[in-house]
Structure 1
Amino acid sequence: MVMNELLLPDLFTLLDSLDWGISIFDENGKFLWVNRYVLKCSGRPRKFYEGKSVYDFQSLGILDTPVCSEVFRLKKKVTHLQYSYTGSGTLGEFIVTATPIFDSNGNVKYAVADRMDVRHLKERHELVLRERQQHDASKIKVESKKLELIYRSGVMEKLVKDVERAAAVASVILLQGESGTGKDVFAHYIHENSPYRNGPMIEINCASMPESLLESELFGYTKGAFTGALNTGKEGLIEAADKGTLFLDEINSMPLGLQAKLLRVLESRSITRIGSTKPIDVDFRLIAATNRSLVECVEERIFRADLYYRLNVIPVTIPPLRERKEDIPVLTDFFLDKFCDRYSLQKKFAKRVYRTFEAYSWPGNVRELKNIVERMVIMSTVSTITINEIPQSMFSENGFPAGPEPELDEKERIRRALEINNGHREKTARYLSISRRTLQYKLKKYGLN
């Protein structure tokens, strides 16, 4: 359809589809037509406008000074901020631009006003900025069911490039970083971008089980190797990782005896099941992760120096979230979208929530951020989640908490730290910023064993 074939009904249909208000007035300021957006914002039916002028609206107290009156007086386009009440009594703020339409004698015959709700305009502006930010961000999404790397900061961009180069070869990689920084996510990313990506990804947390069980899980055993062993024997996780990747998380918690056996596996590229003397060749990529300095562990004699040097071929340190605050908004949006989709909700965060998140130190790193966002999405009862929905546990008199209260005596601080960390001694030591050996001494000193 060419423009000169456009009929008046078609034009009104087009104007009704706009996402901002359109009102048409005669030379006396009388309403001739309004589109659906105006009716939606005002909460009044079209019939209410029939026979009324903007001056009637002013006398009824619905709006302040009509913008059209300025157009008729000045005979030029005018833009003003206008306040008006809806049918339910709510006060709205609008940006109104009125444009004069002249007759052949130069007199104003009509006035066309467009209006936009300031609140909706701000929301749309924030949405567009967020979408643009997400689009422009240095952001990698790994197409995998297991992970998705989300970042925007320069430090993470460099880190990912280094990880990609390391992943391309078969060397051992040591992932270092605080708890919750995403070491497991990087481990999967390395596997999926490595020569072993077509093989299995086997992972185990070395702090999750006692030494005897950990050994049988890693190395497997033969029939009758020990009491309770399966009659068929069992394949170990190292053997299962053949032609794939073995991920040992919290390797700093591995007992010294198993460290020696792991070192022999790395040197010989073979394993021997418990109860057997026959070595089995294995070819796998090892990724180890630690949430504390292995150098300190070596100094404390709880980690073998030779194994440390064998693991420290390509060290990768993942920075804590407080050192890459540029990543907080995009991670927040990612988790927000993820949980809204999971729970079939439509929610968003107010701008101040983002500012509050960026000011927080996030001792639990990305894992803590993820959990906080999920909690806020589930527990909030409004579509726009405000700062009031942030868990109060994040706040303290000085802003945010930072470990046990300093005024408590040492014994009480240690006792509380143990409770917070569910009795896990390594986590408690890190929480108190002391070595595990020092913690052991103080537990004995205060009778907290």
Structure 2
Amino acid sequence: MNFENTLSFAKALDEADQLRHFRSQFLFPNHNGKDYIYLCGNSLGLQPKAAGEVLKKQLDNWANFAVEGWFDGEEPWMFYHKALKKLMAPIVGASPAEVCPMNTLTINLHLLMVSFYQPKGKRFKIIMEGGAFPSDQYAIESQVKFHGFDLKEAIIEVFPREGEEILRTEDIVSQIKENAGEIALVLFGGINYYTGQWYDMKTITKAGHEIGAIVGWDLAHAAGNVPVKLHDWGVDFACWCSYKYQNSGPGGISGIFVHEKHFGNTDLNRFAGWWGYQESKRFKMEKGFIAEGGADGWQVSCTQVMPMALYHASLQIFEQAGFIEPLRIKSITLTQYLEFIINEVNKSLGVGQYKIITPKNQEDRGAQLSIIAQHHGKRIFDGLMANHILGDWREPDVIRLSAVPLYNSYEDVYLTGQALLKVSKDILQKTQSI
């Protein structure tokens, strides 16, 4: 598509957008009577208007049924998670039995590593992306220490080549092969939080399995953003938060995936709790843990009804939109337009003020673009905020902007470009950087 840096062109794209009506189902932050252009769905998704209604319904159930709400009403809490499982599965390419909403992301990462990080003999190492989100780093470090290994020996980090920001798939695969006899677990983020790079999950999973390792993924920035096929790719396990692209609210409930090939493996360790016990016998309160079938058997504590209700509100919007594929089609074009607009800003400034470090290839990125500001990045970010453009700042010099297909428009992108150009000119001219 040949893009144009005009408001009329952006509005024409919006008019042709078959998903444009979903924007009206979300609440936008407002300051002094003016809505923000919200480009921070990669950090926290907007609130669905239905969230309050769905939450009130569960509050009413609590008021009307009290403890009997576990077994009474239209959606008894005992089985509420099953309604979510059916809607979660298409988002991550799984069967409903392979997914479960529970806990929060890092808790689930630990619980899954208890089962799937089982070092034996020389095979005790974990390979991960260098510069992963800190929670992943801390979780992996603590699991390694728990098993009594030295961090420097047990953790292999793969970094981009010198002078590059992006990890090459061939370098990841090469490191896996070079350490074939020592790797117990391959554990990457599906999309890197800082650069926005979407790793080649299928190829990396295949490479890990070829050397006899378990392969897991943290899909915090991928679930609800890009199409993943966890079952078909043979991924062993995965987990994700739901408050970014899946709009479940701050600290919203997490989700897990366990491939069905592991359901019958009684050798897997797990930290058990009563909600993971066989559902049909759970209230007999008997000794000796017997896991419920599927991913539900990894549950520990009872269903978190209110967080699930918020997640449910958003998942129903995904269902209405046709889940990921239609959203992905719009996301690609929307992100390409954002890239075009940023390049237009550079042209107008006459200098390379902004460098996009997210991969240019649409197959290697989702909705997020990470932009290095060569000069005065934080001041420019603050200037965008003052102009009602809400993105995300990451030290030392990166502005993250994410145009989410469910609620962002092409006009949002165009107006962001206009604000970025104005703010940049004002600040750069004052500081004589141009």
Q: Do these two structures clear the TM 0.5 threshold for a shared fold by scoring above it?
A: no
Q: TM-score, normalised by structure 1?
A: 0.22
- The two structures have a TM-score, normalised by structure 2, of 0.22
Higher relative contact order (CA 8 A, sep 6+): 2
- The structure that has the greater radius of gyration is 1
